[in-house]
Chains A and B, each alone.
Chain A
Amino acid sequence: MDALKPKPDKLKTGKDYSSYIVLGAAVVFVAIFLIYPLMRTVILAFIPKGQSISFQNLTLRNFNKFWESALYLRSLINSLYISISVVVFTSVIGIPMGYLVARVDFPFKRLLLSLGILPIIMPAFVGAFSWIIVLGRQGAIRVLLSQIGINLPPIYGPFGIIFSMTMMYYPFVVLLTEGAFETANPTLEESAATMGARLPRILRTIDLPLILPSIGAGTILVFIRAIDNFGIPAVVGGNTYVLPTLIYFRVNGFWDLNSAAAISLISVAITVFALWVQKHIISRREYETISASRSKIKLHSHPLVKVLAAFFCWGIIIISLLPQITLLVMSFFTTWNGLWPKGFTLGNYAEISQFLSGPIKNSLILSTTASLGAAVIGTLVAYIIQRRATRGSALLDYAVMLPFILPGIVVAVALLTAFSSGPILIRGTFFILFISYVIRRTPYVFRSVSAGLTQLDPSLEEASILSGATWFYTFKKVTFPLIFMTIASGTILTFATLLKELSTTILLYSAKTRTLPIAIYDSVNDGNFGLASALSTVLFVVVLGVTYGINRYTGKSMAASFRAG
């Protein structure tokens, strides 16, 4: 029996330091590759271009350009008005659609929701470029509409950006609104009805206040994506600059990291303000609308209502799926000017083989390694913060979540400011891309693992510790197996997201580190729409396959995994 007891000489040795070592490693990584670059970005924003960093050189000149230069001011205004327009249009489409899907009985609603995520899965700039095919100067739909007397505004410019973004992002509003209506407690509406309230009053006085936080979350999500997006304005912007394309222009055209840093700060400030608005004004009051007894909400079933709802929802879905259909068609043709595509060919797909050893391989390697890196860091940090609330873990929490609010191109600027000169020189390498991907994606893994850990009863781990297991043994044998599914699905979704990454890569790639999205972007700019479509179709099919597979594996519906945003 004595063999079971711990050796007396071991009893007094102090704490279990393994968690501190892991915490330390995470802190070092975050400090070098996130905090240091961001601090350098902030400092460079206040230093004139070409000057060294010193106290005397501090200046606001980089920010003054927003008043002095018409281009800067217009970019800022464009960013704001385009993003706000996108919020308005996605709400106008998404909120009624969310309500109709949740509350009207019409056919194939699940299919509709599943199809609804296709626009989200599509890389943004690919969507924009496929709109050029059908709505461009010679686009099939423009030609068709002009024959019946409707003349659309030109696709290059604000119309193209707002239209592409709206068609891409409205599903976020639909999914969140639909989810809120679906889970709302039906007895609240029923009790209002028994007191004599009619539908419009119920919607206004009961439903709207209850789902406002969800709508707020959905619209802020759309706003942040719209203002951060680089790909769409880069492809259909024409002469219309927005903040991300202006940053790209300053870095790529003039190697002006100082201006880029200043623009980045303005851009981040807008994002932070938007999040603040959401947190303190829109979602100030959160309600527990999920009822214990899940009595089924009665759906509207008047034939006329059903027909109108089906027409509206399916109409929107079909329009928003035009890019996918267009890409598929275009990938088999050489040109598409006017109503019909011309020159059927399989050559576009044959050409893909040239990209296998370069961009496609690069994308696969980078996405795989970076999603694993994000998984390791995100999981460990989530575990430490949730379970071993050691000193400094709250700071680490903020630090890890920071990239969540940083536009992709800002992360690229930050890394360039830190690692284009100085002791760590990694510009143009795979490593800088790897780092940027890990930094950008860790918050997503971190968040999902944190959520998984909150649902995992701590007493399971305590039972293990009392059985004599160290912290690391407990993590290996109890915690990790129980949250493995969460980690795995988070990692694979990260992989799929990274495959289509453009906004960070665009500033960080070099000739030898070109990725698949870069190859597509270049083909679009070269006017080789057939090849771009074939590459996009392949990319889209892979991303869709991975997303679908992981949802099947975890048993979630496709739509559910996007509701959380």
Chain B
Amino acid sequence: MKKFKTKDESVTALNKVSAEVKEGELFCLLGPSGCGKTTLLRCTAGLEEINDGKIYYGDQDFSLTPPYKRNIGMVFQNYALYPHMTVFENVAYALRIRKLANSEIRTKVEAIMDLVGLPGVLNRSPNELSGGQQQRVALARALVYDPEVLLLDEPLANLDAKLKVQMRSEIRRIQKASGVTTIYVTHDQLEAMAISDRLAIMEGGNICQIGTPSEIYSNPKTRFIAGFIGTMNFFDARLYKSDGSVTVAIDGRIKKASLPNPPAGEIEADIAVRPEHIKMVLKGDAPADSGFPGSVQIQQFLGKYVRYQVILQMHGREKIVQVDQEMQDASVREGDEVLVDFDASDMLIFHEGGRIG
């Protein structure tokens, strides 16, 4: 539906970036602040000029089209509602530019306000509305003229935690109901994972990976993504080929892995394991060599799970590992001596930032 490809060397906010957004999908741009996601969004809108590269909507090249001719809807982080106009005039603004009849404007505005779930505030001033309500008005204003694409720039950043979760599902409901192709920028990985059909992870002006939330969670392509999405434990390891498989040595403990392209010699690697994949037993309950010895420092109850911070002695230094256990299995207490371990099949293996297994 929509492609963008840009190369911007003067600002270097964006390097070579290429992505394709499908019609009707909710596509997230996720990355830490300063990664170029907002710049990319603003380029898509035409608010920033691109030095090089192209932006397509369908087959049409829009790269040089001025923003006011692109027919794009955008919701700004601070909503950018016009304080000198009523809610009705805010939403009707774009329709007036398109010179629709008054009756038609009223019908459309009322319909869109029903869709965003905020009827009956048309004559109020935006300043009289709560943050969540302003958010809905901003959405209505951006959707009312059937834009080709809807752009959302950190739309939930100004809401409190509880409203954030609520508006998250509201935005997805409204987006699916209107069917508008949507690009959603956020730095909050929970938000991006929860809301998007697909997402692109950005870092340092580059797109590192594009995929569905579950693909990215279980199959991160780089060490950066593995650490950025969800909680992850990293272990320093050495890796070498031995009789058909690959041997992974983590502080003296050996695990066997099978790699598509095994390394020629011995290399250093980062081993990533999710907290839910780490097994933990009390020291006396298993043979002493069946895991890394450590002691439980802190336990936190997170509803269904208990999360433990365990201190291991690795490479002569203290290393903190996060371990999740289901509530009914969680018998370990703070201060207990434990053994932790994980299966080779749960390991994600990275070399120099890239995934090798």
Query: What is the interface residue range for chain B against chain A?
Result: 20 to 34
Asked if residues A465 and B67 are in contact (CB atoms below 8 Å), the reply is yes
Is A423 part of the contact surface with B, judged by Cβ < 8 Å? no
Contact mask A454-483 → B, CB, 8 Å, 1/0?
Answer: 000101101111111110010001100110
Asked if residues A3 and B60 are in contact (CB atoms below 8 Å), the reply is no
Asked if residues A459 and B65 are in contact (CB atoms below 8 Å), the reply is no
Taking a contact as CB atoms closer than 8 A, the residue among A1, A3, A464, A466 that contacts B70 in the complex is A466
Asked if residues A459 and B98 are in contact (CB atoms below 8 Å), the reply is no
Asked if residues A482 and B98 are in contact (CB atoms below 8 Å), the reply is no
Contacts of B148 in A (CB 8 A): 5
Contacts of A465 in B (CB 8 A): 47, 67-68
Q: Measuring CB to CB, which residues of chain A are less than 8 angstroms from any residue of chain B?
A: 1, 3-6, 10-16, 457, 459-460, 462-470, 473, 477-478, 481-482
CA of A324 to CA of B71 in the docked complex: distance in angstroms?
62
Taking a contact as CB atoms closer than 8 A, the residue among A13, A16, A468, A478 that contacts B71 in the complex is A468
Is B237 part of the contact surface with A, judged by Cβ < 8 Å? no
Asked if residues B68 and A466 are in contact (CB atoms below 8 Å), the reply is yes
Taking a contact as CB atoms closer than 8 A, the residue among B64, B67, B83 that contacts A466 in the complex is B67
CA of A470 to CA of B68 in the docked complex: distance in angstroms?
6
Asked if residues B78 and A459 are in contact (CB atoms below 8 Å), the reply is yes
Is B305 part of the contact surface with A, judged by Cβ < 8 Å? no
- Least Cβ distance of B38 to chain A in Å? 11
Q: Measuring CB to CB, which residues of chain B are less than 8 angstroms from any residue of chain A?
A: 45, 47, 60, 62, 64-74, 76-78, 80, 82-84, 93-94, 97-98, 100, 141-142, 145-146, 148
Asked if residues B80 and A11 are in contact (CB atoms below 8 Å), the reply is no
Q: Which residue of B lies closest to A462 (CB)?
A: B47
Asked if residues B66 and A466 are in contact (CB atoms below 8 Å), the reply is no
Asked if residues A6 and B80 are in contact (CB atoms below 8 Å), the reply is no
Asked if residues B97 and A467 are in contact (CB atoms below 8 Å), the reply is yes
Contacts of B141 in A (CB 8 A): 463, 467
- Least Cβ distance of B177 to chain A in Å? 16
The 17 listed contacts between A and B (C-beta, < 8 Å) are A1-B146, A6-B71, A11-B60, A12-B65, A15-B66, A16-B66, A16-B68, A459-B80, A462-B45, A462-B76, A463-B76, A465-B47, A466-B72, A466-B74, A467-B97, A469-B68, A469-B94
Contacts of B45 in A (CB 8 A): 462, 466
Asked if residues B80 and A460 are in contact (CB atoms below 8 Å), the reply is yes
Q: Is the interface of A mostly helix, strand, loop or mixed?
A: helix
Contacts of B60 in A (CB 8 A): 11
Asked if residues A468 and B145 are in contact (CB atoms below 8 Å), the reply is yes
Asked if residues B74 and A462 are in contact (CB atoms below 8 Å), the reply is yes
Whether A14 contacts B64 in the complex (CB less than 8 A), given A4-B146, A460-B82, comes out as: yes
CA of A1 to CA of B141 in the docked complex: distance in angstroms?
16
Contacts of B67 in A (CB 8 A): 462, 465-466
- Least Cβ distance of B64 to chain A in Å? 7
CA of A463 to CA of B77 in the docked complex: distance in angstroms?
11
Of B78, B80, B145, chain A has the most CB atoms within 10 Å of the CB of B80
Taking a contact as CB atoms closer than 8 A, the residue among B62, B66, B84, B145 that contacts A467 in the complex is B145
CA of A133 to CA of B324 in the docked complex: distance in angstroms?
91
Whether A463 contacts B74 in the complex (CB less than 8 A), given A4-B146, A6-B69, A14-B66, comes out as: yes
CA of A11 to CA of B67 in the docked complex: distance in angstroms?
10
Q: Which residue of B lies closest to A473 (CB)?
A: B97
Contacts of A473 in B (CB 8 A): 97
Contacts of A468 in B (CB 8 A): 68-69, 71, 94, 97-98, 145
- Least Cβ distance of A393 to chain B in Å? 16
Contacts of A460 in B (CB 8 A): 80, 82
Contacts of B82 in A (CB 8 A): 460, 463-464, 478, 482
Asked if residues A3 and B98 are in contact (CB atoms below 8 Å), the reply is yes
- Least Cβ distance of A27 to chain B in Å? 23
CA of A368 to CA of B117 in the docked complex: distance in angstroms?
51
Question: Apart from A459-B77, A466-B72, A470-B68, what are 16 other A-B pairs with CB-CB below 8 Å?
Answer: A5-B148, A11-B65, A14-B66, A16-B68, A457-B78, A460-B80, A462-B76, A463-B141, A465-B67, A465-B68, A466-B47, A467-B94, A468-B68, A468-B94, A469-B93, A482-B82
Contacts of A13 in B (CB 8 A): 69
- Least Cβ distance of A452 to chain B in Å? 14
CA of A459 to CA of B157 in the docked complex: distance in angstroms?
15
Q: Which residue of A lies closest to B77 (CB)?
A: A459
CA of A491 to CA of B65 in the docked complex: distance in angstroms?
38
Asked if residues B71 and A5 are in contact (CB atoms below 8 Å), the reply is yes
CA of A482 to CA of B82 in the docked complex: distance in angstroms?
9
- Least Cβ distance of B47 to chain A in Å? 6
Asked if residues A464 and B74 are in contact (CB atoms below 8 Å), the reply is no
Q: Which residue of B lies closest to A14 (CB)?
A: B64
CA of A467 to CA of B73 in the docked complex: distance in angstroms?
7
CA of A460 to CA of B72 in the docked complex: distance in angstroms?
15
Asked if residues A482 and B83 are in contact (CB atoms below 8 Å), the reply is yes
CA of A14 to CA of B94 in the docked complex: distance in angstroms?
21
Taking a contact as CB atoms closer than 8 A, the residue among A4, A15, A16, A457 that contacts B80 in the complex is A457
- Least Cβ distance of A2 to chain B in Å? 9
- Least Cβ distance of B183 to chain A in Å? 13
- Least Cβ distance of A233 to chain B in Å? 48
Asked if residues A469 and B98 are in contact (CB atoms below 8 Å), the reply is no
Contacts of B74 in A (CB 8 A): 462-463, 466
Contacts of A481 in B (CB 8 A): 84
CA of A4 to CA of B65 in the docked complex: distance in angstroms?
17
Q: Which residue of B lies closest to A464 (CB)?
A: B93
Question: Lowest 10 A-B CB distances belong to which pairs?
Answer: A467-B94, A459-B80, A459-B76, A463-B80, A468-B97, A460-B80, A481-B84, A465-B68, A466-B74, A465-B67
CA of A3 to CA of B142 in the docked complex: distance in angstroms?
17
Contacts of B73 in A (CB 8 A): 466
Contacts of A482 in B (CB 8 A): 82-84
Q: Which residue of B lies closest to A15 (CB)?
A: B66
Contacts of B68 in A (CB 8 A): 16, 465-470
Contacts of A462 in B (CB 8 A): 45, 47, 67, 74, 76, 80
- Least Cβ distance of B343 to chain A in Å? 50
Asked if residues A11 and B62 are in contact (CB atoms below 8 Å), the reply is yes
Contacts of A469 in B (CB 8 A): 68, 93-94, 97
CA of A15 to CA of B67 in the docked complex: distance in angstroms?
9
Taking a contact as CB atoms closer than 8 A, the residue among A4, A459, A464 that contacts B145 in the complex is A4
CA of A470 to CA of B66 in the docked complex: distance in angstroms?
9
Of B69, B74, B93, B100, chain A has the most CB atoms within 10 Å of the CB of B69
Q: Which residue of A lies closest to B65 (CB)?
A: A11
CA of A419 to CA of B64 in the docked complex: distance in angstroms?
45
- Least Cβ distance of A450 to chain B in Å? 20
Contacts of B98 in A (CB 8 A): 3-4, 468
Contacts of A15 in B (CB 8 A): 66
CA of A261 to CA of B37 in the docked complex: distance in angstroms?
56
CA of A5 to CA of B97 in the docked complex: distance in angstroms?
12
CA of A453 to CA of B70 in the docked complex: distance in angstroms?
26
Of A16, A465, A467, chain B has the most CB atoms within 10 Å of the CB of A467
Contacts of A457 in B (CB 8 A): 78, 80
